[in-house]
Structure 1
């Protein structure tokens, strides 16, 4: 529903609407030690392209815990898995 023919509209190839005016999914960090809804108050810009593609680059600080192996510190590499999913809302 966010598509248009750019040549019909003065060759406009990008729209930047208010982020509140575009659906943004509720994304949750599942293995969190803090707030689950990562971007609930985020006002990061949303970019809409003529083909309907939407770019959204929110930022946040993730409060999570990871198991660390410091045996070879400082010559080690650590991987911390973030389990991210869609926050579902049940409406009754």
Structure 2
């Protein structure tokens, strides 16, 4: 099975630039999940993560576990927000 990393994001937060104008909404990664690929589409996440969450509102990461042998399945910069249930499945 091939996995895709997906991000569960916080709600958008409008930020102000140094000039005081409002920028586009910034969304912080809340949790990193793993999901199987969708049937027939190796670049799209299936409907559920490995822990059972719906992937509909999640953002697909550019990180692919299969492209980084020996590295963790998730991007290192998000190690502190990895879903423990997805991590347990990926480690087996």
TM normalised by structure 2 equals 0.23
TM-score by length of 1: 0.23
Larger Rg, first or second structure (1 or 2): 1
* Greater share of strand: 2
User: Which structure's residues are more often helix, by fraction?
Assistant: 2
